Structure 1
Amino acid sequence: MDQEWIYGRQAVLEALRSESEIEKVLFAEGIQKNGIKSLLDQLHERGIPYQWVPRSRMDQLASGGRHQGVMARQAAFRYASLEECFKRASDRGAPPFFLLLDGIEDPHNLGSIIRTADASGVHGVILPKRRAVGLTPIVAKTSAGAVAHVPVVRVANLSQTAKQLQSQGVWLVGSDGEASQSYLDVDYKAPIALVIGNEGKGIRQQMKKRCDFLVRLPMLGQVSSLNASVAAGIFMYEVVRHRGLA
C-alpha cells in the first residue's frame, strides 16, 4: 500500500497505542526529549526505528502542517468494513450507533467529527468515495489520533449503504435545518445512524428521502446553520444522553 505521514505528538502517540503499522518515526533536531519520553519508550519497546532530522525537512513532509517536531510513516490508512462496525457494536453489547457523512469536504471537519465519534462511542463512521474527503494526515492530526480507534468505512454508494442499514434494523436520522421535527423528539435508544450533510449544501435530496426522520437543531441567532462538526457533536451526545451513557 501507499505510505502516509501522520504528524503531531498526540496523533503519533495514538497510532502507536492502537498498534498501527508504523514503519519509522522522525523527530526534529533539537526537540526536548522530556516532552517525547512516552513516545521514545514505546518505540524502544516495539523496536520501531526513529531518527533525528532537520525541522525544515519535516516542514516539507508535513506540507506546512503543525507537526510539533514529531512525524510517523505508516501504511496508507486502512478503511474498515460495515461488518466490522456491526461487530464492534455487538462486542460492546450496544445497539448500533453509526454516522453517515454525506459529502463532508473539509478535512478539519472530518477530523473533528471522528474525534467526537470516538468520545461518544460511535461504532463506525461511513463516508462516500466520491465528492467527499477521505482519511488524510490532516484528518488524523485534527482527530488527535482518534482515527486509530474509530472504524471508518468508505463506500461507493452512500444511498445503497443506507438502504442496507435499514434492512438490518437501523433507523436513519438526518440533520436538516428546514425539518419540522426537533432533534429532541427522537428516541435514540434504537439502532441509529445519524446522517450529517455537506458543509454548505446539507444532505442530498436522495438521502433526505431515504431518512426515517429529518430533524433540526434550534437556531436562535442570526446565522442560519452550525458548522458540520459542531452539529454532529450535538447529535452524537444526544444519543449518549438517551442511552444513559453520560
Structure 2
Amino acid sequence: MAKGEKKRAMRGRAGRMQGGRGSGRAGTGQVRLWGRHAVEAALKNPERQHRKLWTTREGIESLDGELPADFPVEYADAHDLSRLVARDAPHQGLVLECVPLEDVFLDDVIASDEDLDEGRGGGPVLVLDQVTDPHNVGAIMRSAAAFGAAAIVTQDRHAPPESGTVAKSASGALEIVPWVRVVNLARALEELAEAGYWRIGLAGEADTTLAEALPAGRVALVLGAEGEGMRHNIAGHCDALARLPISEAMESLNVSNAAAIALYAVATRTP
C-alpha cells in the first residue's frame, strides 16, 4: 500500500479507542495482538479473522505488504495505544484485534507412515507439562518454528490462553506452529506413541543425555515447568528420560532455552 493510500485508510481520532489494558484477551471471542512481527504475521495468516487495527503513522508504514482497502484501521498516537495492551508492552505502534485461531487437534499434526514415505511431516512434537508463563510458551513457539517442529501440545487447564503476550514472545510463530490444546496430556502422549513417536522427557536427574536417547525416527519432546519439572504421571508416559549436558555450575536452564537446545539436537542428529 502506498503511503497516501495508507494514510487514507486511517480513520478515527486518538483518545476514542475502546477496550482497556490487559494481557491481550480483548473480550469474549477476541484476542488483541501487538508488535510488528506478531501483527504482521497475523495479517498475513489467511486463517485469521481480523476485527480492527489501531496504529500510529510510523507503525502502519512499517508493515510489509498491503492492507485491503476496506480494512478497519484507526489512527492513534503511541500513548493511546499503550492503553490497549499490557503495561509497558512494546507495541511498536501496532495493535490488532482479531478472533482466536481455530482449534487444532492432535490427529491433524501427527505424521503417518504414509506422510513420511511421501516426504511430509516428521518434525518433532513439543509437549509442555504445566508450562504456564506466556513468555516461555511464546519463546518455545518461536524456537519450534525455527527448527521445524510439527506442533506444540499443552494441557488446556495448565497453559496460558492465546494472547498478545504469547504472540509478542513468539515473534510471529503463533501464526505458523500448530498449538494443540488437550484435556488429558497423558492420553495425548499415548496417542503419540500409538502413532510411532518416541517420547523423550527432559529431566535434569536422568543418567542418559539427550543425544544418546534420540532415535532416528519421529520424536516427541516432553518438558515440564521450571522448578517442579514434569509430573510423575507424565514422566511415566515417556519412553525415555534424558538430560541436557549442562555444567554442574548451573542447576537448570529456563524451559524455553532447554526447548531450543533440544530442538537443535533433533534437527542436527546423525541419521
Give TM-score, length-normalised by structure 2.
0.82
1:70 matched to 2:94? The reply is yes
Distance 1:88 1:119, change over 3 A: farther
Identity level (%): 30
1:49 matched to 2:49? The reply is no
User: Counterpart amino acid of 2:130?
Assistant: G
Distance 1:178 1:87, change over 3 A: closer
Structure 2 unaligned regions, length at least 5: 1-27
The answer to whether the 8 A contact 1:169-1:191 is kept is yes
**1:19-38 superposed matches below 5 A:** 19=46, 20-28=48-56, 30-31=57-58, 34-36=61-63, 38=64
Q: Please report how far the alpha carbon of residue 21 of structure 1 lies from its aligned counterpart in structure 2 after TM superposition.
A: 1.5
**1:203-218 superposed matches below 5 A:** 203-218=230-245
Structure 1 unaligned regions, length at least 5: none
Cα distance in 1 for residues equivalent to 2:189 and 2:143: 22
The answer to whether the 8 A contact 1:182-1:215 is kept is yes
The answer to whether the 8 A contact 2:112-2:195 is kept is no
Distance 1:102 1:237, change over 3 A: same
**1:95-134 superposed matches below 5 A:** 95-134=122-161
Return the index of the structure with the highest Cα Rg.
Answer: 2
More helix by share: 1
Distance 1:22 1:33, change over 3 A: closer
The answer to whether the 8 A contact 1:86-1:96 is kept is no
**Residue aligning to 1:61:** 84
Distance 1:88 1:81, change over 3 A: farther
Give TM-score, length-normalised by structure 1.
0.90
The answer to whether the 8 A contact 2:128-2:224 is kept is yes
The answer to whether the 8 A contact 1:196-1:228 is kept is yes
Distance 1:78 1:92, change over 3 A: farther
The answer to whether the 8 A contact 1:95-1:189 is kept is no
User: Counterpart amino acid of 1:211?
Assistant: C
The answer to whether the 8 A contact 1:16-1:42 is kept is no
Cα distance in 2 for residues equivalent to 1:73 and 1:243: 44
Cα distance in 2 for residues equivalent to 1:173 and 1:87: 17
Q: Secondary structure at the match of 1:125?
A: strand
Cα distance in 1 for residues equivalent to 2:62 and 2:187: 47
The answer to whether the 8 A contact 1:105-1:132 is kept is yes
1:198 matched to 2:209? The reply is no
The answer to whether the 8 A contact 1:43-1:49 is kept is no
Aligned length: 239
More strand by share: 1
